[in-house]
A and B are shown apart, each in its own frame.
Chain A
């Protein structure tokens, strides 16, 4: 059984107009694998509690975890985390949780990551694990966002790019000024053009809003990927 632990916010960073990343130091945190999540519990002064699951953007043995949160205007928890929480504030966390949507360096298949919006969180953890391990297995990320300002971890991803890790952006509403293609969705044609082909038998991790994940997973199977080599994580919406 995994117990609730008290974490202290040590850093917050604005990532997008509606989202930010939060680093939480947790006494007794055992470290986490890339792709795992934690449950976060907030307790109101009247005792009312709300629990939400968040993917972890950080990886490894450290006793701190980095999350990234996008504001859902009707949410009970995300507006607090995006707009109000400050360094020094305490939050209860439980984890690390989940061993299914996880990448470890023992996995030597080529890896294709596909993210929609804040679905980047568990996938950047995988890219970080790949870099930390010095893994030479090819990694590629397809990252779909509305506009350039909506990219989470833009600088971190740029710093991670290497011979074996490549990032492709797809903009659905507006693109940078000199972008070669007009804005558009992640269609089957886009996936075919900029991802590792099924013939290379990659492992594929897809994370994003439910509609995005389902459309992408369908396209991947249409393109010949084995359903069992495509792992998905939806976050509602």
Chain B
């Protein structure tokens, strides 16, 4: 069984892309419609955070987000997300 951590771990890489803390963003899965804080989704592969991670829906296991990091680039894909919404009052990451 491969182990996972929580979406909490995404705060660092996402701080390079978004202005606010995305771990408190509300995420709706395009596959099953489950809606929850990004911090509570499942993140695989953070042992190799410098290389890449996969975020899966906590409810249906669909791939929501992929992140690939190299020294020069951070590549983010959102294959399974219907909506990602943020509170405009969230302080900067």
Residues of chain A whose beta carbon lies under 8 Å from any beta carbon of chain B:
1-2, 37-39, 41, 47, 49-53, 75, 94-95, 97-101, 209-211, 232-237
Which A residues touch B37, using CB under 8 A? 100
Chain B min CB distance to A225 (Å): 15
Which B residues touch A237, using CB under 8 A? 3
Chain B min CB distance to A77 (Å): 9
For this complex, 26 residue pairs linking A to B, each with C-beta atoms less than 8 Å apart, are A1-B15, A1-B16, A2-B12, A2-B16, A47-B71, A49-B71, A51-B12, A51-B49, A52-B49, A53-B9, A53-B11, A75-B47, A97-B11, A97-B23, A98-B8, A99-B21, A99-B23, A99-B91, A100-B8, A100-B37, A209-B3, A210-B3, A210-B4, A232-B6, A234-B3, A234-B4
- The docked-state distance in angstroms from the alpha carbon of A211 to that of B5 is 10
Asked whether B93 lies within 8 Å of A100 as measured between CB atoms, the reply is no
- A49-B71, A53-B12, A233-B8 known; A99 vs B50 contact (CB < 8 Å): no
Which A residues touch B91, using CB under 8 A? 99
Residue of B nearest to A47 (CB): B71
Known: A53-B46, A100-B39. 18 other contacts (CB 8 A): A1-B15, A1-B16, A1-B93, A2-B12, A49-B50, A51-B69, A53-B11, A94-B12, A99-B21, A99-B24, A99-B91, A100-B8, A101-B6, A209-B3, A210-B5, A236-B3, A236-B5, A237-B3
Residues of chain B whose beta carbon lies under 8 Å from any beta carbon of chain A:
3-6, 8-9, 11-12, 15-16, 19, 21, 23-24, 37, 39-40, 46-47, 49-50, 69, 71, 90-91, 93
